[in-house]
Chains A and B, each alone.
Chain A
Amino acid sequence: MKTWTKAVLTVAALSLAACTDPGSFGAGDNFGTGTGADNGLGSSADPGSIAYFQEAVGDRVLFLVDQSTLSEQGRLTVLAQANWLMENADYVAVIEGHADEQGTREYNLALGARRASAVQELLVSQGVASNRIRTVSYGKERPIEICSEESCYAQNRRAVTVLTANLSG
């Protein structure tokens, strides 16, 4: 019995290691930006592309510790996002709210939701149809920077607007 248990645990450990996917988790794991030769992002030279949105418009805003109020810079970014979304009606967006690791899992989930909501509200107030925008919070589950310093935390306290081409529309 003992030997059997050990054998099972070993097999489990091996299969776990085999399953570990070294690929990184990009923004929008579930509501991704599609696939294809150019990753579906298009060229950043094309102002109607996701790549342009990410690089020229800015797909994310950052927050102060514990805050979900948009900074002036964040507000300008979201206003630019609103303009872009108004001009590119074929896209829908999921706004992902995130927190740094300084906080409990549950509180950070709720905090991330507040941050995502702050972006959503400003987009809608600018005329973006509310049915084009959903929000989700990842709390502290998906940091993009992994050091335990403020320089990393600042990048992780974010709300990212993740676009998907609205195929049904």
Chain B
Amino acid sequence: MRLFATLVIGILTMGQFAHPVMAQNGPLRIEITDGVIEPMPYAVPDFVAESPGSNQVSKDISRVIAADLNGTGLFREIPTKAHISSITNFGSPVQFADWKAVNAQALITGGVSVNGNQLEVKFRVYDVFAGTELGNGLRFKGTTDGWRRMAHKVADAVYSRITGEGGYFDSRVVYVAETGPKNDRKKRLAVMDYDGANLQYLTDSSSIVLAPRFSPTGDRVLYTSYETGFPQVFVLDVGSVRRKVLSNESGTMSFAPRFSPDGKSVVMSVTEGGNTDLYKMDIASGKRQRLTSTPSIETAPSYSPDGSKIVFESDRSGTPQLYIMAANGGEAKRISFGKGRYGTPVWSPRGDLIAFTKQNKGRFHIGVMRTDGSEERLLTASFLDEGPTWSPNGRVIMFTRETRGAGGTSSLYSVDVSGRNLKPVKINGGGSDPAWSPLQ
């Protein structure tokens, strides 16, 4: 990823129309909040290879863009074999009639050139039925091994222009890769692109590892490891894969860590004498501040995006429920009042919703509610769903699904915050405890 630091974004041309006006008035607009049932048909013909040796990468980039867009459930690709026109020159005028004829509402064209290890990708998005360009053409420059990231950046730009929301394709996911049967499960930390590509293992499987969490800039990961024989919170640098224990007081356990939005401190559970409470630790100084002091279990803390509040799980009422308190502790307000048990609350990056795990009548659900506890919606139902994490734009939730029985396995799933588009995330083997990175 470091190789991609040379990424350059340039505007190709000034658009004829102000982009927001186009976006609002043209037909080429997906209002996600309206509840999209019919995905928008679009075409992405192979990007034009503009230099010798860029044929394959041009095709590959087009395919990654299509996979990103199709994967949202909001877009439907018109397959290449149905196209009656092709794009052979990025600069030539688009034959809108040919794309209208195949019912492509949006058209994405692009050009790719390779010079040594340098890769340049440019693209334009067209509103076919209006016969105009949507927004400006953009150019990305980087190194050839960052080609997937460039494709994701193009797809993010297209998604963003058509939905009016931020993208999430140029992001990564850290999770726990799992192998082996339930009573002898091997776990190791792994990081991958959000779509499963570029898998890299961050630890070996000699110790149990749990629930990794990205730092706000995506450069570090917090997780819980049994490396010392007891569960303790570790911090790992993703680039160097160097790790250090954060909290290692003899006779205590620490787990369920999460970064503060400024990345300087960690909120986590510490167990002492069988009682679990929340603590905040300053990473640089190691100084610890106790946030809760009750005989009940307090765990799974998550900051609001502005860092002013913490939502967490507590069984102080008798069963696990969700509570919100100020970031420095103090009185907490219960927000979950539905039937069943609530856990693992995670504040949306947009600040408007809390995702959670709900257990009721022997079933598990991933759900969302507003931060005051209202408008609870369950997005999934299964034998065991847990541990939601938000996409950087707050539109998609990834989580762990474990299947029932002796042969039960864990895998990663994602679902749109609307409850649609539930699907497995492609990973190598089993996996659990995903955590989405910010947009890179």
Residues in chain A within 8 A of chain B (CB atoms): 1-2, 5, 8-9, 12-13, 16-17, 19-25, 30-31, 66, 68, 101-107, 109-111, 113-114, 116-118, 120-121, 134-138, 141-148
Whether the pair A137, B253 counts as a contact (CB closer than 8 A) is yes
| A135 and B201 alpha carbons, distance in the complex (Å) | 30
Whether the pair B405, A13 counts as a contact (CB closer than 8 A) is no
Q: Does residue B269 face the partner (Cβ distance < 8 Å to A)?
A: yes
Residues of A within 8 A of B56 (CB): 2
| A84 and B208 alpha carbons, distance in the complex (Å) | 31
Whether the pair A134, B147 counts as a contact (CB closer than 8 A) is no
Cβ contact of A110, chosen from B177, B276, B406, B428, cutoff 8 A = B276
Minimum CB–CB distance from B191 to chain A (whole Å) comes to 13
Cβ contact of B271, chosen from A30, A137, A147, cutoff 8 A = A137
Nearest neighbor of B250 in chain A, beta-carbon distance: A134
Whether the pair B429, A105 counts as a contact (CB closer than 8 A) is no
Residues of B within 8 A of A107 (CB): 297, 299-300, 313, 315, 320, 343
Residues of A within 8 A of B317 (CB): none
Question: How many residue pairs bridge A and B at CB < 8 Å?
Answer: 141
| A118 and B185 alpha carbons, distance in the complex (Å) | 27
Whether the pair B271, A106 counts as a contact (CB closer than 8 A) is no
Known A-B contacts: A12-B201, A146-B406. Give 14 more (CB < 8 A).
Answer: A1-B60, A9-B428, A12-B199, A19-B179, A101-B402, A103-B341, A104-B300, A107-B299, A107-B315, A109-B269, A136-B231, A141-B208, A143-B182, A143-B183
Residues of A within 8 A of B46 (CB): none
| A68 and B230 alpha carbons, distance in the complex (Å) | 20
Minimum CB–CB distance from A145 to chain B (whole Å) comes to 8
Residues of B within 8 A of A146 (CB): 181-183, 405-406, 408
Cβ contact of B428, chosen from A13, A117, A120, A143, cutoff 8 A = A13
Q: Tell me the dominant secondary structure on chain B's binding face.
A: mixed
List 25 interface pairs A-B (beta carbons < 8 Å), by A numbering: A1-B145, A8-B199, A13-B429, A16-B428, A17-B179, A19-B186, A20-B179, A20-B186, A21-B180, A24-B183, A24-B184, A25-B184, A30-B226, A102-B362, A103-B343, A104-B320, A104-B344, A106-B255, A106-B343, A107-B343, A110-B297, A121-B274, A137-B271, A141-B210, A146-B405
| A40 and B12 alpha carbons, distance in the complex (Å) | 74
| A147 and B256 alpha carbons, distance in the complex (Å) | 27
B residues 325-372 near A (Cβ < 8 Å) are 341, 343-344, 357, 359, 362
Q: Which stretch (B70-78, B130-138, B379-387) binds chain A?
A: B379-387
Minimum CB–CB distance from B277 to chain A (whole Å) comes to 10
What are the interface flags for B211-245 relative to A under an 8 Å C-beta threshold, 1 for contact and 0 otherwise? 10000000000000010011100000000000000
Whether the pair B274, A147 counts as a contact (CB closer than 8 A) is no
